[in-house]
Copies of this chain bind each other. A is one copy, B any other.
Amino acid sequence: MANSRFEYVKQFESSDSLLPNTWIVIRIDGRGFTKLCAKYNFAKPNDRRALDLMNAAAQAVMTELPDIAVAYGVSDEYSKLITTIASTFTSYYVHLWPQFFPDNPLSPPLPSFDGRAVCYPSVQNLRDYMSWRQVDCHINNLYNTTFWSLIQLGGFDAKEAEKSLAGTLSADKNEILFSKFKINYNNEPEIYKKGSVVFRDYELVEPGSHSVSETIDNIAEPVQQSKTQEEKDKKRRNKACVVVEHLDIIKDDFWDRRPWLLSNKPGKVPKQA
């Protein structure tokens, strides 16, 4: 690198490391997606192709960045980590678009995403974060499903729909859907009700069959794995499929049966994989 008298400017760079040994959550948000939904005529309240495109992009990101499944020990530089993930996600989003919207080519302004990173110190904090997102998804989807049913099936305009939903509880919305439109909310697609969780898939574990305390110890210990073990883990991770599921991630069952999600140790790759 050139040794010019201008190089003093490097001292203005500030470090922005993330706290090690915490669960780093990277949140990616579409920018100005209200306009984008209108521009490309996304279906209301949910556009299956658009959701599938998001999931395909997420799946591709996880396949390309194998450390993500774990969100633990990935990287210590904040800006590099979040811009990498936002950029990789955008790259696949734009690249995969024609597969999901073959008759609807992209034109400027193009879709883009912003992101931010948050560190969660304990497993409980991380699971509470995930639970919060899934509760949010459920509440919003029940509202949107009822709101758009009132408009699309009930002939309401947006103001009337909003007004008739003001102050209603979940039970009220379920009732409106069923009595007015014969819609049983429970029968709505899981992807809309629960959102999507993307993870590396291994053989499920019988709850109770693995030692939870062992898992916790592995987390607490500053893991200094041997290079050989790391290589083995890497190979197993590469063999695993990255899947998109729509499961309950609030209850223990999801986590108990997939101990690899919190232990940072790859599970057993199924025979057929």
Contacts and interface: CB of A to CB of B under 8 A. Distances in A.
A153 interface: no
A220 interface: yes
Interface in A80-115: 80, 82-84, 86-95, 106, 108-115
Contacts of A263: none
B122 A219 contact: yes
A12 B20 contact: yes
A232 to B, nearest CB: 23
Contacts of A87: 31, 86-87, 89-90, 112-115
Nearest to A17: B14
| A: interface residue count bin | 35 or more
A273 interface: no
Q: Is the interface of A mostly helix, strand, loop or mixed?
A: helix
A257 interface: no
B119 A12 contact: yes
Interface in A179-198: none
B116 A91 contact: no
Interface in A121-175: 121-125, 128-129, 131-132, 135-136, 138-140
